[in-house]
């Protein structure tokens, strides 16, 4: 269990670094070029790792569920949107909004899937996250005197 927690936190740190790198790259190129570089290097990396470890190609294409083909286009939109937004609103605001969106969708998916647990506590936690996002976004920026 501790390995899974460490792995998840590491993945979160890497997402933050990835968003920042893509945001900086989009400033010097464009959000689409940043997304392209992200995905081409990612494709090469996952291909090499999967060839070494195995499991890159399913025995038959029919074994891939239809929704399996949606992750790629969704990932492209996610990376391109992040690359476009980070230079405009900053890494922290982008991360807060992305995490809020993830939490909201996760709660919806748990309800749809009928995941057991404490639905009121989950909804209360989601509400606290959303309130925190609103508070974080509503803070006035300090005015700079010229």
Model pLDDT, residue 139: 66
Q: How far apart are CA 22 and CA 87, in angstroms?
A: 10
Q: How far apart are CA 100 and CA 133, in angstroms?
A: 7
pLDDT band at 63 (very low <50, low <70, confident <90, very high): confident
pLDDT band at 69 (very low <50, low <70, confident <90, very high): confident
pLDDT band at 22 (very low <50, low <70, confident <90, very high): confident
Model pLDDT, residue 96: 79
In the three-class reduction of DSSP (H, G, I as helix; E, B as strand; rest coil), residue 100 is classed as: helix
Contact 33, 41 (CB under 8 A): no
Model pLDDT, residue 51: 84
Encode 57-87: b = buried (16+ Cβ within 10 Å), e = exposed: eeeeeeeeeeeeeeeeeeeeeebbebbbbbe
Segment of 45-54, 93-102, 136-145 carrying the highest mean pLDDT: 45-54
Q: What is the mean pLDDT of residues 125-131?
A: 81
Contact 37, 25 (CB under 8 A): yes
Contact 132, 95 (CB under 8 A): no
Q: How far apart are CA 45 and CA 90, in angstroms?
A: 28
Here the tokens at position 4 are 């899974």
Q: How far apart are CA 17 and CA 22, in angstroms?
A: 9
Contact 18, 80 (CB under 8 A): no
The tens digit of pLDDT for each residue in 73-86 reads: 888 888 888 888 88
pTM of the shown model: 0.62
Mean of all residue pLDDT scores within the chain: 81
Q: Write down the number of H helices and E strands in the chain.
A: 5, 0
């Amino acid at each position: 269990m501790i390995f899974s927690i460490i792995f998840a936190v590491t993945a979160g740190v890497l997402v933050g670094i990835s968003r920042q790198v893509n945001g900086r790259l989009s400033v010097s190129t464009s959000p689409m070029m940043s997304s392209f570089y992200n995905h081409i290097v990612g494709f090469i990396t996952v291909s090499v790792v999967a060839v070494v470890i195995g499991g890159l190609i399913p025995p038959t294409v029919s074994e891939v569920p239809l929704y399996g083909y949606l992750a790629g286009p969704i990932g492209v939109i996610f990376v391109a949107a992040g690359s476009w937004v980070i230079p405009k609103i900053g890494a922290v605001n982008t991360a807060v909004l992305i995490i809020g969106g993830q939490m909201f969708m996760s709660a919806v998916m748990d309800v749809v899937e009928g995941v057991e647990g404490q639905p009121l506590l989950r909804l209360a936690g989601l509400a606290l996250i959303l309130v925190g996002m609103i508070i974080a976004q509503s803070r006035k920026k300090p005015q700079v005197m010229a």
